[in-house]
Amino acid sequence: MKRAKNTFVGPRVRVPRHEHSRPAGYLLNNEFASLAEVIDPKIPTRNLVELDAQQTRKLVVRRLQLAPESFQVAMIGIGLVDKHRAIAEVESDSRIGRYLIEIERYVLDALVSTVNSPRRRRTLR
């Protein structure tokens, strides 16, 4: 079966260019590793599933610090959480902070999965 020229299989997902340089894990020397480093098979890194709670908190805080000042997340029952409150909540390991960590886990997992998809790998080279 022949497909039309402009069709594609699967969703078109774009990873914003700035995400490639943002922290997404750790290098083996405990420095932050960028998304580009985490997905590079030649660079040994540790991603979220390999981190303890303190390392995860530090990673999420660092990503929030790099977010624009206009950063906000709406949470049901809590309202809008701005960048500075988000950082404070994650650092204090509050219930809201743990929710924010889970959101960031989901975002990082989606970014890594998107960049590592076979369809995406062909376009990155």
CB atoms within 10 A of CB 27: 15
Say which amino acid occupies 33.
A
Task: Measure Cα distances from 8 to 1, 27, 49, 124 in Å.
Answer: 14, 36, 32, 17
Write out the chain's pLDDT in tens, 125 residues: 444 444 333 455 677 788 889 999 999 999 999 999 998 999 999 988 899 999 999 999 999 999 999 999 999 999 999 999 999 999 999 999 999 999 999 999 988 888 776 654 444 44
Domain edges within the chain: 18-124
Q: Which residue has the tokens 């709670």?
A: 53
How many angstroms separate the CA atoms of 8 and 12, rounded? 8
